[in-house]
Amino acid sequence: MPRVALTAAQKRAQRTADGNTALLKALRRNKAEEDLKWDEVAGRLGVAPSTLQRWRQRPEIIPLCGLRVIVETIGMSKEDWLKVGGFRP
């Protein structure tokens, strides 16, 4: 089957989804390090446990405000966050 090149919009969407997935992995690591339950993580993020569950199932739907809270909660630097999002200075 021939390979089809992605459009610029599709590439941006893929990078966004990859960045969100990386942040979610960092959140999982932070949860494990601090020995928390997902309900406690949701409380720290200021969201309902059901919202966090949806974010875990579909990282591409995490809104920007949610991403900021995740970054603050896990203590990620702004530079690392930009790298996760695909920004290269």
| DSSP code for 60 | G
Judge whether 18 lies within some domain.
no
Question: Is 80 exceeded by the pLDDT of residue 50?
Answer: yes
What are the pLDDT digits (tens) for 2-44? Answer: 677 778 877 777 766 677 777 788 888 889 999 999 999 999 9
Residues of the domain holding 49: 36-89
Number of domains in the chain: 1
Neighbours of 23 (CB within 10 A): 23
Question: Does residue 42 belong to any structural domain of this protein?
Answer: yes
pTM across the whole model: 0.69
